[in-house]
Amino acid sequence: MALKIEPSLFPFFKPKGVMVVGVSQNPTKLGFGLARNLVQSGYSGAIHFVNPRGGTLLERPVYPTIAAVPDPVDLAVLLVPAAVTPQALAECGERGIQAAIIASGGFRETGTDGLALEDQCVQVARNYGIRLIGPNCIGLLDTHLPLDTTFLPPPGPTPGDVAFISHSGAICAAVIDWARGQGFGLSRLVSLGNQADVRETDVLVSVAADPYTRVITLYLEGVSDGRRFVRAATAVAREKPVLALKVGRYASGQKAVASHTGALAGSESAFEAAFRRAGVIRAETSEELFDWARTLAWCPLPKGPRVAVLTNAGGPAVTAADALEAQGLQLAELGAQTRQGLAEFLPAAASVGNPVDMLAGASPQDFNRALRLLLDDEQVDSVIVIFPPPPLYTAGGVARAIIPTIYAAQKPVLAAVLGERMIQEAVEYFRAARVVEYRFPERAAAALAVLWERAQFLTAVPGKPQRITDVHVDIAHQALRQQHEPGFLPPEVVNDLLAAYGIPVPSIALAETAVQAAQLADEMGYPVALKVASADIPHKSDVGGVRLNLLNGAQVQRAFDEIMTAVQVAVETAVPQPHIEGIHVQRMIPQGQEVIIGAVQDPQFGPLVMFGSGGVEVEGLQDVTFSLAPLTRAEAEEMLARTWAGRKLHGFRNIPAADREAVIDAILRLAQLAADFPQLQEIEINPLRVLEQGQGAFAVDGRARFG
Amino acid sequence: MALKIEPSLFPFFKPKGVMVVGVSQNPTKLGFGLARNLVQSGYSGAIHFVNPRGGTLLERPVYPTIAAVPDPVDLAVLLVPAAVTPQALAECGERGIQAAIIASGGFRETGTDGLALEDQCVQVARNYGIRLIGPNCIGLLDTHLPLDTTFLPPPGPTPGDVAFISHSGAICAAVIDWARGQGFGLSRLVSLGNQADVRETDVLVSVAADPYTRVITLYLEGVSDGRRFVRAATAVAREKPVLALKVGRYASGQKAVASHTGALAGSESAFEAAFRRAGVIRAETSEELFDWARTLAWCPLPKGPRVAVLTNAGGPAVTAADALEAQGLQLAELGAQTRQGLAEFLPAAASVGNPVDMLAGASPQDFNRALRLLLDDEQVDSVIVIFPPPPLYTAGGVARAIIPTIYAAQKPVLAAVLGERMIQEAVEYFRAARVVEYRFPERAAAALAVLWERAQFLTAVPGKPQRITDVHVDIAHQALRQQHEPGFLPPEVVNDLLAAYGIPVPSIALAETAVQAAQLADEMGYPVALKVASADIPHKSDVGGVRLNLLNGAQVQRAFDEIMTAVQVAVETAVPQPHIEGIHVQRMIPQGQEVIIGAVQDPQFGPLVMFGSGGVEVEGLQDVTFSLAPLTRAEAEEMLARTWAGRKLHGFRNIPAADREAVIDAILRLAQLAADFPQLQEIEINPLRVLEQGQGAFAVDGRARFG
């Protein structure tokens, strides 16, 4: 997918003329701030002000009506009371304007009256073909065009290469100030507000097309259309790094769930899976978001995970080494030539291994010489330079000495300059030269890990989920067609669905009497299992409704009676009373490793597939992982790699290796089933019993909820 | 244990006179810096300089020899070449000086020659009764005495309440500068260097006794005597918070281990357990160390985990709420009165639930009024105030308005002032008033969680491990007395040890023939298990050496032969060839939950006990936790609470509740055994089978290594 801006959004990002409706003469009012920012931004198009009182503002005429504003004008910024906004919007439409930012609040966020006003705005916009940003937003700014339609107090951001797109308007002023304080500039900033029309995905694509933007940062409270977001973000992330801070992590409300998969699949799992699919890098904190953005904007990507650490201070180098290993990077094994080169000029007590500790007396020239040697080493993919204020030289001197080398390098070099006030000169030099610097070695290591993650993402060949063709969609359709009410599907139906999609299931049949059960078992062959047949009892073993390893007809008959007795207790105490249809007789599958595979329909991202350690302890062990469905074979492989249940399939101690291929196949097929039938709210195989290599995997117990 | 400074350390922390040996007239030399810092520190005792060249320095005489220095002088700071240091130290001894800081490098850290010089220094010091700090250190400083024996470039730290004790000298300059930049002062700073004599534990106790020190921070590369450190830190932590950054986490080398416990018990597990025992709060990064130190120094402790969030910005408040929940804190449920009070003056669109979002227009007075209401609410234990630069007011104005309220509050109030440059005024106000402030809400949440952790630590009644009296130390002694060589103990011996310490073991006997095995089984009762008897085969099931659930004599005889055949293969391929003594016949214990309990001897901290999910997957699941042994009942309870294996003992789904008491008892007994017999390098019960409540727990399989 090529990145294409929706043409109707052009006026937001390259307007010919901007009109501010609701300007104010009072410098403490937002309507003044907006006018001032627009003029001071240096925007080169036409600027027009509107206020019924007329007059002049900032040496420009103030028009009394929207209709009176002369050409050119293709973007309106409305800062008028919510109640009159629909009318103002209509006047914009009459005037031929097709893009409007509604900065005012008082809409959906205030309750039902506000929501009605917002709906009215959307209706007016639709009638006139107007695209809307907001309401209840800060607006947008572009430091390169330049354009500033916000009312934030000055100074605005310095021009830079990091774009910021935000669901929170309140955070925008802080972000501009953070960026300034941390010495990087912004390219564009867009506050989305209530998203009555234009949403995060629209803006993401538009901003990605901006040549000045090298990295896109997102502050998300959710996404409006999960699958659309994933498609767009996938395309964008191949071009430019996308970083997201998703907030509202723990705020997910309670919901009724019936399966382990449902219980574990909060919206967080869906976001994790969606970001992973799209190649969006997820920051856990605001600090990480901007730490990483700077690094991605300014550093070349490393070719590998091998890091050299260069320092004049042993302690912080150990801290860095710890952090690098914790982040999945490696300390590079330095080449003999490098070590020899270092030994030539460093004191005998210095360490020429990695970390290279030149000791406290190291001069700026020593730093530079050592850095060159490390960069020339083929076994080094990146370098972190760490220095506290040196006792005999200035930190600024070290920065000046190494900047030209960092400039010329094809490998990323990150600096950790420890301290605060005594190192300000070094920090200023680095920032001016676009060398990333941090105050703490751990943060440099974390940022470097993100660079390496990005490098791996770009070299991996992106796969596309391939449709599995030998599935019987028609049979599955037929099985589900008989289902009219929401609820659990009978196990025969679940088995039919799984079988239709090529997932092996053991034969099963329903018995209504003990004698019939024994007959069915005789036909299938022993051992068999008996399970109470009731769509109303999700966890059958909890109520004594399951008996395993029955070896002959007599055992089967006895077990039938015992289950019926045990279940009777459950039936009598449960509200509503479950309906018991009989008892299922099932051929038992040989022992093997047991895993869980499940799928749920996520309200935002659609079908999600889960894999992990099965059994009854699923929720306790939490050894599970999710992926969007359908998925590629490579993604299924990664699910195995992320879980102990998956890694164990290779064999461990006296647990023999199991049929991994069969597991991957089952994951792909269940994902396809969930994607094909969104009416399957949840479907779960627990356990999927995995036999030895080449022997396959069987869905011993399946469960599904229709809704 | 009362905090008592070792009297021989008095001269370091309250010297009557200080002598600097090796001063320099050259301002670029460390010998000049040291003299300058000592004079500029304002130290009120006598200051003397020594250099063979004599003359004057900083308007003071320079004595040509140590002997020539007049009284009073009880602390020497040596900055002379390593080779002449032993001699200088001897001269100090002759002069009657009994405390010396060796700042010079060139000792142990440089190799064998340096090590020899260091040993010489220790010998000289011992002869004269001199206590040594260093060599290869920065020295120490005390901002309140005041005293500065470092050669770091000025400015030194501002006086404050955080002490810093460090194994890394190189980090000290950065720490002083960080503290300055983050607006807090230091009370004392001690650089330990090579620790030829005085160690981290000595200094910890001395610094804890300093009335100006409210919080102690440690930068540790290890500890010299683990148990002594734990004893001292336990006593200190009850008085003052101790924070530690332990580096070298991933640097642990390979070692040979035989049990799961051994494989999982790296030195990190030991440090975790030791810090937990002592109440030392572990920081993961340098940034956390100082973030938390400030908060612990300046905030009252919360009475509970219920946090109110007050803000003018919705987005960051959600971020804060996420972070609070992730940290184990709770969003307070505000009282009706509080909500009503807020509603009285806030706009209708504001949120008077928690987080309280007053919207962007909130004034400094609004912040203060809302903060008072929240602090008055009995359901609120602490408050985080979050604000980006407000659009209509200054951040400084908000700070000024709320500082008096924060001052008067008995509950902690933390500020997250978002931004960087536009909020400097607010930051300066807060720092001057000792209100903790962070740039990011997540960091405020993490710091608050540490405060709550500290509050809980102080309210918990500290227990002391009680010796279990009904153990037969003599029998265990006897069992081990026959053991002469390092290696695995025979299972009978392991069983004897466990039984002697009151841990139930199933009866077991050795059979040399199939017929004998069947006879033994007849005596014990069925079912039985057979296990190959060989101290050389640690993982018996890996080689087909285990058969379970044998129900009669015929099965036992057949299994005996099959094991012998299977094991024969292993015997033939293994180097060295394992010795097979026969086959153990063991009465089998009924089904139940299975856990692992193990103990190892840690080289630094002595006996460590482990508990967690057992079976063969121990290392894969990593659901284990460690504690120093012996331990209290409460600590054993906490081990259960920290693991899924432990939580599951309460019952889960159709897994019935198990005999938790029996597990706790077994943990305490195994810990006691490991503590009583340090010659038991590793001992492990895997599985300990836990029956239903009141039915006990049995060591089904035990293994121990003697060394």
CATH class of A507-587: alpha beta
Q: Which residues touch B440 (CB under 8 Å, ≥6 apart)?
A: A285, A286, A287, B416, B418
Q: Residue A528: in which H helix or E strand, if any?
A: strand A528-533
Q: Where are the domains of chain A?
A: 7-213, 300-459, 507-587, 593-706
The string of pLDDT tens digits covering residues A432-480 is 999 999 999 999 999 999 999 999 999 988 888 999 999 999 999 998 9
Cβ contacts of B30 on chain A, cutoff 8 Å = 391
- Are residues A314 and B360, on separate chains, in Cβ contact within 8 Å? no
Architecture of domain B300-459: 3-Layer(aba) Sandwich (3.40)
Task: Determine if residue B386 is left, alpha or beta; phi over 0 gives left, psi from -120 to 50 gives alpha, anything else beta.
Answer: beta
Nearest to A316 among B170, B542, B652 (CB): B170
When pLDDT is cut at 50, 70 and 90, the band that residue A263 belongs to is low
Tell me the CA distances in angstroms from B47 to A601, B72, B675, one per residue in order.
77, 9, 50
Is pLDDT of A30 > 70? yes
Rounded to a whole number of angstroms, the distance from the CA of A471 to the nearest CA of chain B is 35
What mean pLDDT is predicted for residues A232-246? 95
Burial class (CB in 10 A: 0-12, 13-18, 19+), B468: middle
* Interface with A, mutate which of B178, B184, B356, B619 (most A CBs under 10 A): B178
Coil, strand or helix at A521: helix
Instruction: Record the tokens describing residue A210, joined without a space.
Output: 């901006």
Count of beta carbons in the 10 Å neighbourhood of residue B657: 14
Residues 391-420 of A with CB under 8 A from B: 391-392, 418-420
**H or E stretch at A681:** strand A680-690
- DSSP category for residue A501: T
Average of pLDDT values for A556-582? 85
In angstroms, what is the C-alpha Rg of chain A? 32
Query: How far A111 CA lies from chain B's nearest CA (Å)?
Result: 8
Those residues with Cβ within 8 angstroms of residue A673's Cβ, 6 or more apart along the chain or in another chain: A471, A476, A497, A498, A501, A599, A680, A683
Query: How far apart are the two ends of chain B, measured CA to CA in Å?
Result: 34
DSSP element (H, E) containing A559: helix A553-573
Average pLDDT of chain A, as a whole number: 92
Nearest chain A alpha carbon to B193: A315
Distance of CA A491 to the CA centre of its chain: 35
Does A27 lie at the interface with B, CB-CB under 8 angstroms?
Answer: no
The minimum CA-CA distance between A309 and chain B, rounded to whole Å, is 15
Chain B hits for A30, CB-CB cut-off 8 Å, are 391
Distance from CA of A125 to the nearest CA of B (A): 25
**CA–CA gap between residue A314 and residue B322 (Å, rounded):** 36
pLDDT in tens, A82-127: 999 999 999 999 999 999 999 998 998 888 999 999 999 999 999 9
HEC sequence for B288-321: HHHHHHHHHHHCCCCCCCEEEEEECCHHHHHHHH
Statement: residue A256 has pLDDT above 60? no
Distance from CA of A348 to the nearest CA of B (A): 7
DSSP B199-244: -HHHHHHHHHT-TT-SEEEEEES--SSHHHHHHHHHHHHHHS-EEE
Q: How many interchain CB pairs under 8 A, A with B? A: 251
Structure tokens at A422: 């005594």
Q: Are A316 and B177 in contact (CB under 8 A)?
A: no
Contacts of B418 in chain A (CB under 8 A): 171, 174, 177-178, 286
Put simply, whether A314 touches B (Cβ < 8 Å) is yes
Residue B384, both tokens: 């985080």
- Minimal C-alpha gap between B380 and chain A (Å): 19
Asked if residues A705 and A489 have their Cβ atoms less than 8 Å apart, the reply is yes
B512 touches chain A (CB under 8 A): no
> ipTM of this predicted complex?
0.81
Q: Report whether pLDDT(A375) > 80.
A: yes
Question: Residue B254's pLDDT is what?
Answer: 34
Average pLDDT over residues A503-508: 88
- Chain B interface test: which of A113, A325, A354, A420 (most B C-beta within 10 Å): A420
Q: Which of A50-59, A450-459, A561-570, B251-260 has the lowest mean pLDDT?
A: B251-260
Interface of A with B in 105-144 (CB under 8 A): 105-106, 109-111, 114
- B315: nearest CB among A170, A392, A620: A170
Measured distance CA(B212)–CA(B203) in Å, rounded? 15
A23 with A32: CB under 8 angstroms?
yes
Any A CB within 8 A of B539 CB: yes
Name the minimum distance, in Å, from the CA of B143 to any CA of chain A.
19
Cβ–Cβ below 8 Å for B617 and A315? no
Contact (Cβ atoms closer than 8 angstroms) between residue B246 and residue B202: no
Mean pLDDT for each 10-residue chunk of chain B (707 residues)? Answer: 78 96 93 95 96 95 96 97 97 96 91 94 97 95 96 91 93 91 94 95 95 96 90 95 84 45 72 94 92 96 97 87 90 96 92 91 96 98 94 92 96 95 94 94 95 95 89 93 85 91 90 94 89 83 86 93 86 78 89 94 92 86 93 96 95 90 98 96 94 92 90
Short-list A549, A314, A585, CA closest to A441: A314
Structure confidence by residue, pLDDT tens digits, A318-371:
888 888 988 999 999 999 999 999 999 999 888 899 999 998 889 999 999 999
Looking only at the bridges linking them, the beta strands covering B702-706 and B680-690 are: antiparallel
DSSP string, B498-558: HHHTT-----EEEESSHHHHHHHHHHH-SSEEEEEE-TT-SSGGGGT-EEEEE-SHHHHHH
Chain A: residue whose CA lies nearest to B329:
A250
pLDDT score, position A515: 94
The neighbour count for residue B473, using CB atoms within 10 Å, is 13
Residue A623, chain B, CB below 8 Å: the answer is yes
Residues of chain A with C-beta less than 8 angstroms from the C-beta of B441? 286
**Predicted confidence band at A255 (pLDDT cuts at 50, 70, 90)?**
very low
Same fold, B300-459 and B593-706: no
Q: Do B170 and A312 touch (CB under 8 A)?
A: yes
Q: How many CB atoms lie within 10 A of CB B337?
A: 12
Find the mean pLDDT for residues A619-631: 91
- Cβ pair B442:A287 closer than 8 A: yes
- Token couple for B128: 């004269």
Length of chain A: 707
Of B180, B251, B420, the CB nearest to A420: B180
Chain A CB within 8 Å of residue B37 CB: no
Instruction: Tell the CATH topology of A593-706.
Output: D-amino Acid Aminotransferase; Chain A, domain 1 (3.30.470)
- Residue B390 has a pLDDT of 86
Interface contact flag, B620 A647, Cβ < 8 Å: yes
Determine contact, residues A19/A35, Cβ cutoff 8 Å.
no
Per-residue model confidence (pLDDT) at position B569? 79
A692 backbone dihedrals φ, ψ, rounded to 5°? -70, 165
Question: Is B325 in contact with A250 (Cβ distance < 8 A)?
Answer: yes
Residue among A311, A422, A594 with most chain B CBs within 10 A, to mutate: A422
Query: Which chain B residue is nearest to residue A438, measuring alpha carbons?
Result: B287
* CB-nearest partner of B653 from A348, A539, A648: A539
Alpha-carbon distance B235 to nearest alpha carbon in chain A (angstroms)? 27
Cis omega (within 30 of 0) for bond into A576: yes
A245 has a chain B CB within 8 A of its CB: yes
pLDDT at A544 over 90: no
Q: Which fold is adopted by the domain A7-213?
A: Rossmann fold (3.40.50)
List beta partners, residue B438.
B416
Whether the CB of A549 is below 8 Å from some CB of chain B: the reply is no
Q: Which of A105, A314, A620 sits opposite B170 (nearest CB)?
A: A314
Average pLDDT over residues A587-611: 92
* B656 reaches A (C-beta below 8 A): no
Which A positions 165-194 lie with beta carbon below 8 A of chain B?
166-171, 173-174, 176-178, 180-182
Q: What is the pLDDT of residue B235?
A: 94
A442 interface with B at CB cutoff 8 Å = yes
Chain A nearest-CA distance from B94, in A, is 32
Burial level of A28, CB count in 10 A (0-12/13-18/19+)? exposed
A422 touches chain B (CB under 8 A): yes
Who's near A626: CB < 8 A, 6+ residues apart? A265, A269, A270, A272, A273, A608, A609, A610
